[in-house]
Structure 1
Amino acid sequence: MDLEPEGFVEQGYGAVGDAFRRNFQDPGEDAAAVAVFHGGRLVADLWGGEDVVNRRAMPRDGLMMVASCSKGITATVLAMLVQQGRIDPDERVGTYWPEFAVNGKERATVGMVASHTVGLPYPPLGTGLQGLDLHRGEAVTRALAAAEPLWEPGTAMAYHPVTYGTLLDEIVRRATGSTIASHVRRMVAEPLGVEMWMGLPAELDGRVVPGLWEQASPMAPTGEEDAEPGSYAARRLAFLRENPPMDPDFTDPQEVRAHYAAERPGIGAITNARALATMYAAVLGPVDGTRLVDESTLELALTPRTDDVETLIESGTAGPDIRFGLGYQLASPSMPGFGPSSFGHTGAGARLGIADTEHQVAFGYVCSRMRNIGPHGDPRWAALVEAIRGCL
């Protein structure tokens, strides 16, 4: 099977192709793709490697579930709804969702939910819910509405791996009458002509390239057994023991279909590098005449919201120093991007979608060989980002 990368790079961006090709040897790739926009123009679009689950070369139209890169998509929808005046990030959640304003959450705002400071990083223990029911649906939404936060909202930050999407989805549904998944299709995917879903149509299942971990998922309940009783670390561990991370059994078509169909705005987007890069380019400026977020709204979305609060133990896949604006992850050592003006979101396994306001660059990277993101980012997308930076 010929696994030589396919696609194109424009003149002057050859280093991106070279870095992408080298990644398959060191540190190693299975199936992967990268796309780059500069100044609103697609300058690199590459894919290659092998889908080891389905034993095929990475197809041009291959799709991947991009884990927490989904949060960057949700942040874009939220920014667009703020821009339209349909949601106020400084409004209390209870204004849109009255049942939420109980048990210490009365003053919690939409911005606190979007910046991971609301104090609900996991559903409460003892719900009896399992699997996808912990990610979406009326039962988990009711449980979160009734829950007592683990800290006073707005006073600390800890990454909300799945509840970020569950909470924002209910806020958006109450405020607009439509789910985030619906807004993604109408406001992002269709205007830009890109392939992006939260809840994949069944006829597209065969195009998905599954991701496989080289080692245990970073969300696995290990490494904190000596956590002080009552601490956040201990409570997090208790949740992960009750409800460990899950991936579908790729030999079970019904289980795979359930995962792909689930609308999970925090982790469940199915898309490709091309679409991620296009979306972020259209956040920065027009792409074929379509711009998603205006300058003033983008400035609001990128205003840091977590720099002045306590950061609890790193509890996601983004590194120990994660920072957030209004849903977007901001530049840090674990997601350095192209410099201090980069923003976007990493995804478990080392997927990445980012943009940079200073350099006017947008970047999407997806991979099926999944690794933990280290304290300075993943070496594969780090090499690609460095190559792009050298081309600017």
Structure 2
Amino acid sequence: MSDVHGTVAPGFEAVREEFATVVANEASDGGAQLAVYHQGRQVVDLWGGDGVDGDSLLALYSSAKGAMALVAALLVQDGVLDLDREVASWWPEFAAEGKERITLRQLLAHRAGVIGADGGLTFDELADDQVIAARLAGQRPFWEPDSGHGYHALVIGALVGEVVRRATGRTAQQHFEERVRAPYAVDYYLGLPEELEPRFRPVLPMKPTSAQQALLEANPIAPDSLMGIAFGIHPDHPLDLVAYANSRTVRANAPLSSGGIGSARGLARMYAAVAGELEGRPPLLKPDVLAEVARIHSSGTDLVTGEENAFGLGFVPLATRHPVLTSAAIGHSGAPGSQAFADPSTGLAYSYARRRFGFLCGAGAPENDRLIPAVVRAAVATV
């Protein structure tokens, strides 16, 4: 317990105990943060381990997809975007190579098949969404659009972001800043200001055990496989995910698929603004829009990862991974093992962040399987 700092509200003491176990056993080397809101009130604010405090800003990778999905949902709510309109109606160049009938709904549900580029995308290209979009406008889909789903890991943000830019004349990052981050004082950034750089803690690489290393070496990802294409494993320029997030260019540009920087406090607060009222403000999303983005649009075997998963519209329906949550829960994980979500049915907003990559934690580190139930139990007991 001595390695854990911060506070919990009465009734959430068991969450602190579970987090202390996580820090001791999984996240001490690099550090971790945990923040939770319940019915508009912050009830957990904890951190522990090496090199991290409550104010540290961490690379949270695909958590940016949740922020991107929130911007898209807000614009749908405004009537600016239409989910069933073709992407090419805003972005004519996207119609090339048989993509003319792909809708925004299909894109957000990871059904477009545009998971990467022939020849791969370089580090510099992946650092700039508008460059990615220009490359992908003329790209052929890697499967028949809407015939299945597959995780558009490194490019969905650029694709949706280009629709937002074409439809509104402003970037998704600008919309996020003006409608979410600034008014709600969210400590999560799609474009980290230079003056906040001293708070950033570089991401640390995975330290697999000998058994884990042997497993990785025995199961290499073929560069020409769908997973290799989607995750940038090109033989001429394989993507180094650690160097990617530790790049000031990436942090400044904030590619919408994986470039967000923030704290657990920040992401929990963002999702608190989705989960219910926050400091006198109504929830960001109206019930009908929330229900639509949370509804499962894709499920079954992912063509990219080969795993069973599900997607709503940009968001992941978190009850499919954590059954203790309700069907209204939406959020997104991040590569080092982070997880964040809103569950409007219970008023919970949760964010766990860690600095060092865990072992194959694309859907959130395994410790979330213990932390989330502890949070839900505490919330139920305090109602």
Give me the TM-score of the superposition, normalised by structure 2. Answer: 0.88
Aligned position for 1:223: 219
Q: 1:235 to 1:134 in 2, by over 3 A?
A: closer
Please say if residues 267 and 351 of structure 2, whose CA atoms lie closer than 8 Å, have aligned partners that are also in contact.
yes
SS at 2:48's partner residue? strand
In 2: Cα distance, 1:169 partner to 1:221 partner: 36
SS at 1:77's partner residue? helix
Q: Larger % of helix: which?
A: 2
Map of 1:168-247 to 2, 5 A cutoff?
A: 168-215=160-207, 223-224=219-220, 232=226, 239-247=233-241
- Asked whether 1:382 is paired with 2:376, we answer no
Aligned position for 2:35: 35
Aligned position for 1:360: 347
Percent of residue pairs identical = 31
Aligned position for 1:55: none
Alignment root-mean-square deviation, CA: 2.9
Map of 1:118-197 to 2, 5 A cutoff?
A: 118-122=112-116, 124-126=117-119, 130-197=122-189
Map of 1:277-292 to 2, 5 A cutoff?
A: 277-290=268-281, 291-292=283-284
- Asked whether 1:268 is paired with 2:259, we answer yes
SS at 1:101's partner residue? helix
Moved more, 69-78 or 190-199: 190-199
SS at 2:50's partner residue? strand
Question: Counterpart of 1:109 in structure 2: which amino acid?
Answer: T
- Deviation string for 1:52-103 (max 9, x for gaps)? xxxxxx2332111111111111111111111111111111001111111121
Deviation >3 Å, runs of 4+: 215-218, 224-227, 230-240, 247-250, 332-337, 372-377
Question: Counterpart of 2:3 in structure 1: which amino acid?
Answer: E
Q: 1:27 to 1:289 in 2, by over 3 A?
A: same
Aligned position for 2:295: 303
Deviation of 1:38 after TM superposition, in Å, equals: 1.1
- Matched residues, number: 372
Deviation of 1:137 after TM superposition, in Å, equals: 4.8
Moved more, 378-387 or 98-107: 378-387
- Deviation string for 1:231-258 (max 9, x for gaps)? 64576588533442224659xx9x7322
Deviation of 1:342 after TM superposition, in Å, equals: 2.4
Select which of 335, 341, 358 maps to 1:348: 335
Q: 1:209 to 1:231 in 2, by over 3 A?
A: closer
SS at 2:80's partner residue? coil
Aligned position for 2:357: 370
In 2: Cα distance, 1:260 partner to 1:237 partner: 19
In 2: Cα distance, 1:295 partner to 1:102 partner: 36
Q: 1:238 to 1:63 in 2, by over 3 A?
A: closer
Please say if residues 64 and 257 of structure 2, whose CA atoms lie closer than 8 Å, have aligned partners that are also in contact.
yes
Deviation of 1:300 after TM superposition, in Å, equals: 1.2
Deviation of 1:351 after TM superposition, in Å, equals: 0.5
Deviation of 1:337 after TM superposition, in Å, equals: 5.9
- Asked whether 1:87 is paired with 2:86, we answer no
Aligned position for 1:326: 313
Q: 1:224 to 1:27 in 2, by over 3 A?
A: closer
In 1: Cα distance, 2:154 partner to 2:6 partner: 34
Structure 2, unaligned runs of 5 or more: none
Deviation of 1:191 after TM superposition, in Å, equals: 1.4
In 1: Cα distance, 2:231 partner to 2:188 partner: 33
In 1: Cα distance, 2:324 partner to 2:125 partner: 34
Q: 1:338 to 1:374 in 2, by over 3 A?
A: same
In 2: Cα distance, 1:276 partner to 1:324 partner: 20
Structure 1, unaligned runs of 5 or more: 52-57
Deviation of 1:372 after TM superposition, in Å, equals: 3.2
- Deviation string for 1:193-212 (max 9, x for gaps)? 12221111112111011221
In 2: Cα distance, 1:387 partner to 1:261 partner: 36
Question: Counterpart of 1:258 in structure 2: which amino acid?
Answer: T
Select which of 107, 111, 118 maps to 1:113: 107
- Deviation string for 1:4-34 (max 9, x for gaps)? 3222111011111111111122234322111
- Deviation string for 1:149-190 (max 9, x for gaps)? 011211111101111111011110011111111111111111
In 1: Cα distance, 2:50 partner to 2:221 partner: 37
In 1: Cα distance, 2:352 partner to 2:70 partner: 18
Q: 1:60 to 1:375 in 2, by over 3 A?
A: closer
Please say if residues 39 and 277 of structure 2, whose CA atoms lie closer than 8 Å, have aligned partners that are also in contact.
no
- Asked whether 1:259 is paired with 2:250, we answer yes
Deviation of 1:213 after TM superposition, in Å, equals: 2.5
Please say if residues 63 and 334 of structure 2, whose CA atoms lie closer than 8 Å, have aligned partners that are also in contact.
yes
Deviation of 1:49 after TM superposition, in Å, equals: 1.8
Please say if residues 205 and 357 of structure 2, whose CA atoms lie closer than 8 Å, have aligned partners that are also in contact.
yes
In 2: Cα distance, 1:171 partner to 1:242 partner: 30
SS at 1:37's partner residue? strand
